[in-house]
Chain A
Amino acid sequence: MTSAEIRAAIIDILETIAPDEDLTNLDDAKEFRDQMELDSMDFLDIVMELRKRYRVQVPEEDYENLVSMASTVSYLEPKMVDIPAE
């Protein structure tokens, strides 16, 4: 997957986790928490969805990489490069 495809995949996951949030104006450089209501269970859900959909493992010590869209995508890039886009 390219970084653009990974970004789209994350948006798709966020839409199921937080259906009430408007993600069209999401600023990739800013922390998710500052732009939408996400708690620790929401971050866990992102991790679980990534494993379910793409079999990507995110160990607990790496959760801090999921703070913003930009950091999430760059963390996932090497892990998802060999995964074909849907």
Chain B
Amino acid sequence: MPRDFLKDVKDKYDVIVIGSGLAGLTSANILGRAGYDVLLLEQHYKLGGMATWFKRPKGHIFDISLHGFPYGMLKSCRRYWNQEIADRIVPLRGILFDNPQFTLKTTYDRASFTDLLQSKFGVAEATIKEFFDTARGMNFYDDQNLTTKELFERFFPGRNDITRLLMEPITYANGSTLEDPAITYGIVFSNFMSKGVYTFQGGTDLMIGLMKDELEANGVDIRINCSAEKINTEHGKVKSVTVNDRDIQCRSVVSNANLLTTIFKMVGEEQFDKDYLEDAKAVRVNNSSTQVYMALGPEDHIDRDTGDLLFTSTAERFETNRLLSRDITSRTFSVYYPDTRPHDQRERHLIVSSTNARWEDWGNLDNEAYEASKQDLIETTLDALEKYLPNARERVVYTEAATPRTFYHYTRHHEGASFGTKFEGLPVSQALPSQITGLYHAGSVGIIMSGWLGAINYGVIVSNEVDQLLMQ
């Protein structure tokens, strides 16, 4: 007999949350804490979605998406999770840029950028101030026609180097390009810029573990290895969810699964208005990623001066398109020192290299070509690392690569999308409950609701609406 992952599940819940990414986890926590009966379904055997990690023999633990997030995480974790989780959020101080246009180190906050833009790039202080204030003052209902490129041109005409400094990290953080609306840049950038880049001390595994404890304390019924197949409706309202051949009744559903999967596969086209479907079909997903995971031997160590987060490139000029190319010229290296996991006695040093990538370059390769392409990715990454870690090739004792296919496999996101959808996904996500009463989507959409903080905050925004509905 296969194990029944739904053993003793109830017949009916107030809320069923589909998916345990950070948005799903946060929704489940808030609604559980508010006293509702919550069922959380996750198709994978681990919670966390893209906030994940993996272990390899000899004590290596690799984090997938723990490269950095804004200060706002601290507040959100304190309020929507607990103090213990918030207390582990610490700053990353060594942010490095190295490319043919400039090489510099920054703490990635407004003071540091103001200083650099004046001293290294020769920009007047007043212009810098105006730029920051403009970015900070942007709201998501502002003009969507202005592109990020136009925003930079307005303040720093002809300065591709400044565009690179201000844009490259954001492109890595959420896949946005110079053609995306300037408001997405403004909102995300002002979030990041206020107080630097932060990380979770203890590793993703510890954070998700602490979140699981909190969910259990708030009475959330958590079920792994449970893939929700169908969201069933009746008279325009959600009625139940089909999972592992069982129908479970509910008053509302929060889907943390991909927005398009939720609409087209789990609910079905026939349940929506024509106009809504048209908008939904026009939603573009964001790009995917590749990563190379590299571990040093147990006796070896990386000098702290190497930095924490290295934005490197060999491309002469900055173009967001090139960041997606299979012909990789730009990489972000995240360096993990032993204090990433202070409780771990093994004191390992690791490096994860990330690039943005397109599904088309990986999705359709036959097995042999795919394996060769992966190996090539590892080899070229080791070559590029040499500049920052001398003798990298001899010192790295373990390597592994992830591609858009890997991300698709683990999260079921269309084309392995790493950062949800482009901007137009947000209104489609928000309008879901106006199509089907009781059905909500919470998860990376619209660029601004992406990343760890964006996903958590969107989970909160959606829980507020669910609470409003259920209280009536």
Contacts and interface: CB of A to CB of B under 8 A. Distances in A.
A complexed with B:
yes
A47 B464 contact: yes
B34 A52 contact: yes
Interface in B50-94: 72, 75-76, 79
A30 interface: no
A48 B464 contact: yes
B471 A55 contact: yes
Contact of B468 (A41, A45, A51): A51
Interface in B427-472: 457, 460-461, 464, 467-468, 471
A45 B251 CA distance: 24
Contacts, number: 21
A57 B468 contact: yes
Contacts of A52: 34
Contacts of A57: 468, 471
Interface residues of B, number: 12
A45 B461 contact: no
A44 interface: yes
**Most central of A17, A41, A57 by chain B CB within 10 Å:** A41
Nearest to B191: A39
Interface in A25-76: 39, 41, 44-45, 47-48, 51-52, 55, 57
A17 B34 CA distance: 17
A51 B467 contact: yes
Given A51-B471, A52-B34, A41 B464 contact: no
Given A41-B457, A41-B460, A48 B76 contact: no
**Most central of A39, A48, A52 by chain B CB within 10 Å:** A48
A44 B76 contact: no
A84 B75 CA distance: 32
Given A44-B460, A48-B464, A57-B471, 11 more contacts: A39-B72, A41-B72, A41-B75, A41-B457, A45-B79, A47-B464, A48-B467, A51-B467, A51-B468, A51-B471, A52-B34
Interface of B: 34, 72, 75-76, 79, 457, 460-461, 464, 467-468, 471
Interface of A: 17, 39, 41, 44-45, 47-48, 51-52, 55, 57
